[in-house]
Amino acid sequence: MREHLRRTRVRLTLVAVGAIFPVAVLAAAGFWAVFAALEVRAVDSSLDAQAQVLTSALESGSDRVDPAAATPLPSVTQAGIAVNAVLFAPGGAAVDRSGQVGDPAAYTPDRQPSAPLHETRRIDGVVQRLLIQPVGFANGTGVLVLARPLDELLETLAEVGALLACAVVAVVLVAAGLGYWLAGRALSPVGVMVAAARDITEHDLHRRIDLDLPPGDELGELAATFNAMLDRVETAFAGLQRFTADAAHELRAPLAQMRAQVDVVLRRERTPEEYRASHRAILDEIERLSRMADQLLLLARADAGALHARADTLDLPELLEEIVERWRPAAMAREVRLESELPLEGELRADPELLRRLFDNLLDNALRHTPARGEVRLSASADERTWRIAVEDTGPGVAPELRPRLFERFARGDRARGRDTGGAGLGLSLSAAIAAVHGGSIAVEEAQAGQGARFVVVLPVDREATRRRLA
């Protein structure tokens, strides 16, 4: 039972019933009260009319009651309704009575009224409506009391009350049924979404929820949000599958080369020089695997939100010049001119180790793609809020159709680039993750010379201040 009450459809129905029940009860009670008041008023009007007739019959020409000459009090009204009447003299003694009056003392008023007065009193076990009206006697003021039994009226009111109670029950039951049905109709899209979510697996992430709902409907917005979530899940799952396949492919190549190298060496005895050459080749592949594992670890930390950058105050031109000097021997070995164009000074709050990795990746990428006698240039400029650092080369550039996927993992901007000349395709994606963790961005542009590629990194001078300003 408790589990059933936890269902939203049942709770919505109970809310509807809880809202309608008191309204129905108040409406029924109000109707009954008005009906009872109107009926009592009709009885009072009847007693007033009868009192007027009796008073006219009792009074003499001097507007005084003379009991000896007065007509006896009637026991029914002109309409044939039973009425009890008692006439009290100024001293309180009953001088006349009619109808079913047994003991006149039971009809004695509590006080001498100055105007006609209506009240309800139980007399001899019967609820009666009384009219107490003063009348003039020759020696003072007496009282005429008219009483009408309310048995029939009370029975009528009880019947009306029972009918209203039945009506209230009927209204509540209808409201409960209608509310349960409407709640089911309103929540039916939720059932569709629940069934879809239950049935969707990794093999059919392309499925979407198709509901015919009017624009602006809350459940329609929920379905659209659910479909958008499925789009993201499908994209992420496809990327994960592609990433897994690419990672396995990239890891298999160096492992295969190491195994082939070991197999060749073990076929016969080798000279020390041959063993050293074999070990150097294996060491190169091990270093390549180590770099790939390190990059994958950093990317995994970035995906999990666990990659955090320190906020050290750096002299950025000095850091960039240090990076350029470290790569200058590699550039000379490739017969590539490596130039820098940096301001004399400038500060940046960032993580120096992550920045070194970022620009190492960009310079390595530029040197790999720049032919002999080409040029690679690193430049930087700043304004009050951001640094713009550009790495530009005179290589073949990046085809426009490859740019959207350039910063994806295992993506390569040069189709002719193989594993012998290039890395695993993780450097640019790692660079983008490092720029993002610093609150910046990275993009590829056409080189100013008209050929080659130009990678531009934008970093906020103080990312904490930037976050506070955006918040």
CATH number at residue 252: 1.10.287
Pair 292, 424: CB distance under 8 Å: yes
| In-domain check, residue 201 | no
pLDDT class of 421 with cuts at 50, 70, 90: very low
Query: Does the pLDDT value for residue 38 go beyond 80?
Result: yes
Q: Tokens 């470290």 appear where?
A: 326
Residue-level pLDDT at 167: 94
* Mean pLDDT to the nearest integer, 298-311: 76
Answer yes or no: do 358 and 333 share one domain.
Answer: yes
Answer yes or no: do 297 and 363 share one domain.
Answer: no
* Mean pLDDT to the nearest integer, 51-73: 65
Q: Which of 31-35, 376-380, 408-412 has the lowest mean pLDDT?
A: 408-412
pLDDT class of 170 with cuts at 50, 70, 90: very high
CA 341 to CA 388: how far, in whole Å?
12
* Mean pLDDT to the nearest integer, 325-341: 92
pLDDT class of 402 with cuts at 50, 70, 90: confident
| In-domain check, residue 151 | yes
Predicted confidence (pLDDT) per residue in 174-208, tens digit: 999 998 888 888 778 877 777 877 777 767 777 77
Q: Which amino acid is at 314?
A: L
Query: Does the pLDDT value for residue 3 go beyond 50?
Result: yes
Domain termination residue (choose one: 157, 172, 204)? 157
The structure tokens listed for 279 are: 């070990």
Element (H, E) at 132: strand 126-137
CATH number at residue 426: 3.30.565.10
Residue-level pLDDT at 32: 94
| In-domain check, residue 210 | no
Query: Does the pLDDT value for residue 157 go beyond 90?
Result: yes
Q: Which of 338-347, 392-401, 445-454 has the lowest mean pLDDT?
A: 445-454
| In-domain check, residue 176 | no
DSSP string computed for 433-463:
HHHHHTT-EEEEEE-TTSSSEEEEEEEES-H
Packing angle, helices 427-437 and 272-303, rounded to 10? 40
The structure tokens listed for 265 are: 């060496």
Q: Which of 1-15, 148-162, 323-337, 428-442 has the lowest mean pLDDT?
A: 1-15
Residue-level pLDDT at 416: 40
Query: How do strand 441-446 and strand 375-382 relate by DSSP bridges?
Result: unpaired
Q: Which amino acid is at 199?
A: D
* Mean pLDDT to the nearest integer, 243-254: 69
Identify the residue with better confidence: 216 or 361.
361
Query: Does the pLDDT value for residue 423 go beyond 60?
Result: no
Domain termination residue (choose one: 106, 139, 157)? 157
Answer yes or no: do 431 and 460 share one domain.
Answer: yes
pLDDT class of 418 with cuts at 50, 70, 90: very low
Tally of domains in the chain: 3
Residue-level pLDDT at 412: 56
Q: Which of 36-50, 74-88, 135-149, 448-462 is the most confident on average? A: 36-50
Answer yes or no: do 141 and 19 share one domain.
Answer: yes
Task: Say which DSSP state 371 is in.
Answer: P
* Mean pLDDT to the nearest integer, 233-258: 73
Residue-level pLDDT at 447: 66
Answer yes or no: do 248 and 322 share one domain.
Answer: no
Q: Which of 216-225, 325-334, 441-450 is the most confident on average? A: 325-334
- Mean pLDDT taken over the chain: 81
* Mean pLDDT to the nearest integer, 348-369: 90
CA 450 to CA 395: how far, in whole Å?
10
Element (H, E) at 155: helix 151-199
Q: Residue 397, Cα to own-chain centre: how many angstroms?
A: 48
| In-domain check, residue 72 | yes
Residue-level pLDDT at 420: 46
| In-domain check, residue 167 | no
Residue-level pLDDT at 470: 40
The percent of residues in the chain predicted with pLDDT above 90, rounded, is: 21
CA 406 to CA 419: how far, in whole Å?
17
In the beta sheet, which residues pair with residue 88? 94, 143
CA 14 to CA 175: how far, in whole Å?
10
Query: How do strand 386-393 and strand 94-98 relate by DSSP bridges?
Result: unpaired
Identify the residue with better confidence: 193 or 39.
39
Q: Tokens 């026991």 appear where?
A: 75
Cα angle 372, 413, 386 (rounded to 5 degrees) comes to: 90
pLDDT class of 66 with cuts at 50, 70, 90: low
Q: Is 276 exposed, middle or buried (0-12, 13-18, 19+ CB in 10 A)?
A: exposed
| In-domain check, residue 20 | yes
Answer yes or no: do 282 and 385 share one domain.
Answer: no
CA 406 to CA 414: how far, in whole Å?
10
Predicted confidence (pLDDT) per residue in 201-228, tens digit: 767 777 777 777 776 777 778 888 888 8
Residue-level pLDDT at 285: 80
Query: Does the pLDDT value for residue 122 go beyond 70?
Result: yes
Residue-level pLDDT at 417: 41
Domain termination residue (choose one: 303, 327, 345)? 303
CA 327 to CA 331: how far, in whole Å?
6
* Mean pLDDT to the nearest integer, 414-435: 65
Answer yes or no: do 115 and 36 share one domain.
Answer: yes
Residue-level pLDDT at 76: 62
Answer yes or no: do 24 and 135 share one domain.
Answer: yes
Answer yes or no: do 323 and 464 share one domain.
Answer: yes
Residue-level pLDDT at 147: 86
| In-domain check, residue 165 | no
Residue-level pLDDT at 59: 64
Residue-level pLDDT at 415: 47
Residue-level pLDDT at 21: 92
Query: Does the pLDDT value for residue 116 go beyond 70?
Result: yes
Predicted confidence (pLDDT) per residue in 262-302, tens digit: 888 888 888 888 888 888 888 878 887 887 777 777 777 77
CA 111 to CA 101: how far, in whole Å?
20
Answer yes or no: do 47 and 143 share one domain.
Answer: yes
Q: SS3 of 127, please?
A: strand
Pair 302, 431: CB distance under 8 Å: no
Answer yes or no: do 328 and 299 share one domain.
Answer: no
Domain that holds residue 82: 2-157
CATH number at residue 128: 3.30.450
Residue-level pLDDT at 64: 66
The percent of residues in the chain predicted with pLDDT above 70, rounded, is: 83
Q: Which of 53-67, 70-84, 194-208, 219-233 is the most confident on average? A: 219-233
Answer yes or no: do 339 and 459 share one domain.
Answer: yes
Contacts of 448 (CB under 8 A, 6+ apart): 392, 454
